[in-house]
Amino acid sequence: MERVLSSVLEAIGNTPLIRLNRIAEGSPRPVAVKLEAVNPGGSIKDRVAVRLIRQAEADGRLKPGGTLVEATAGNTGIALAMAAAVMGYRSWFVVPDKMSPDKIRILKAYGAQVTVVPDVPKDDPHHYQAVARRLADEIPGGAYMGQFLYAANPEAHYDTTGPEIWRDTGGHIAAVVAGAGTGGTITGIGRFLKEQDPGIQIVGADPVGSIFTGPVAPFKIEGMGEDYYPDTLDPEVVDRWIAVSDDNAFAMARRLAREEGLLVGGSSGAMVHVALQVAETVERPGWVVALLPDTGRNYLANIFQTETEAL
Ligand code: PMP
């Protein structure tokens, strides 16, 4: 029996759900994590990229030989750059300067062009989304991918991530913890799981300084947290938001590598920090599931700097 995939894009999804052992020891509810780092582009955003491209093709915004343009904190860019290589498109990304240098190198390794802009508020004309939109209009064949705008983003999680969690837990779910950048993950998963069982608690982990839990201020966690409510987030599906500091998120990311063998990013640390709190208080029996959105290889130069410099 041959099992050869027709391209790397067929290797996306069906990621493993893994029990936490040492870190969740003594927890009143078992905690399981969904390891999105094993997607070929290293993050949960691989699930969204091909759908955004197909949407742009279907709308007539993207033509053969065109250039994908997107505002991204990195992972959507990596996913789109990978898909662009397979599908024969060019790609150009606008990223905020708080983004990890490792992610910028990865974008370039896939052949993408990268423009770095200051990390300014949404209403500033230099905001990465505004710059990306202008770029898409200005360059011939440019098409704005719009991960913050299009339903293709939450739909990817409604169709794949949510059903995988339901299948792999046998439906025994007390709560799911996800973050919100675009809100695509939490919206898609939340809608799917609440249709199966409305009692499942959907918990949003949110960086201190992000709008979903409090006053807007700078924070270092990448990929989650915003200073406005994106179109792709449906706040109705979120039962509860819990804030988490950069320090707690990064400390947990380091523990996940050393104590569970899971080399994941700062947003993953945030999810697990919050998941342990949820496991202490949630009334329903069942698994507390935390999403681990990306690989720690994206953050060797910042979150894991101390460890890597010691070598
Ligand atoms: N964590 C990381 C590292 C991410 O790149 C993203 C995607 N922006 C998220 C969390 C949040 O995912 P979503 O955009 O689906 O809300």
The confidence score (pLDDT) of residue 311 equals: 52
Return mean pLDDT, the chain.
96
- C-alpha 223 to ligand 1 mean position (Å): 4
Q: Is the pLDDT of residue 22 over 80?
A: yes
Ligand 1 contacts (CB < 6 A) are 43, 45, 73, 75, 179-185, 222-224, 265, 267, 293-294
Averaged pLDDT for residues 106-118: 96
Instruction: Please report which confidence band the pLDDT of residue 307 belongs to, taking 50, 70 and 90 as the band edges.
Output: confident
* Percentage of residues in the chain having pLDDT higher than 90: 94
The confidence score (pLDDT) of residue 35 equals: 99
Active site residue 45: yes
Averaged pLDDT for residues 74-89: 96
Q: Which of 45, 72, 102, 147 to mutate to test the pocket of ligand 1 (most atoms within 8 A of CB)?
A: 45
The confidence score (pLDDT) of residue 14 equals: 98
In the chain, how long is the greatest CA-to-CA distance?
Answer: 58
The confidence score (pLDDT) of residue 20 equals: 98
Pairing between strand 17-19 and 31-35? antiparallel
In 3-state terms the chain splits into helix, strand, coil percentages (rounded to 5) of 40, 20, 40
Domains and CATH numbers, the chain: 8-39+160-292 (3.40.50.1100), 44-144 (3.40.50.1100)
Pick the atom of ligand 1 nearest to 157's CA. Answer: 15
- Closest-CA residue, ligand 1 atom 11, reads 181
Q: Which of 182, 191, 227 to mutate to test the pocket of ligand 1 (most atoms within 8 A of CB)?
A: 182
First to last CA, the chain: 44
Averaged pLDDT for residues 30-53: 98
Averaged pLDDT for residues 50-71: 97
List the helix and strand counts (H, then E) for the chain: 10, 10
pLDDT tens profile 195-239? 999 999 999 999 999 999 999 999 999 999 999 999 999 999 999
pLDDT tens profile 135-188? 999 999 999 999 999 999 999 999 999 999 999 999 999 999 999 999 999 999
- Closest-CA residue, ligand 1 atom 2, reads 223
- C-alpha 3 to ligand 1 mean position (Å): 31
Assess contact for 90 and 64: CB atoms under 8 A: no
Alpha-carbon distance of 225 to 306, in angstroms, equals 25
Instruction: Please report which confidence band the pLDDT of residue 306 belongs to, taking 50, 70 and 90 as the band edges.
Output: confident
pLDDT tens profile 258-270? 999 999 999 999 9
Instruction: Please report which confidence band the pLDDT of residue 110 belongs to, taking 50, 70 and 90 as the band edges.
Output: very high
Rg from Cα positions in the chain: 18
Assess contact for 278 and 26: CB atoms under 8 A: no
Q: Is the pLDDT of residue 107 over 80?
A: yes
Assess contact for 273 and 248: CB atoms under 8 A: yes
- Closest-CA residue, ligand 1 atom 8, reads 223
Positive or negative: CA dihedral 287, 26, 263, 246: positive
From the list 34, 45, 63, 98, the catalytic residue is: 45
Alpha-carbon distance of 207 to 192, in angstroms, equals 25
Q: Is the pLDDT of residue 308 over 90?
A: no
Q: Is the pLDDT of residue 310 over 90?
A: no
pTM strictly above 0.90: yes
- C-alpha 182 to ligand 1 mean position (Å): 7
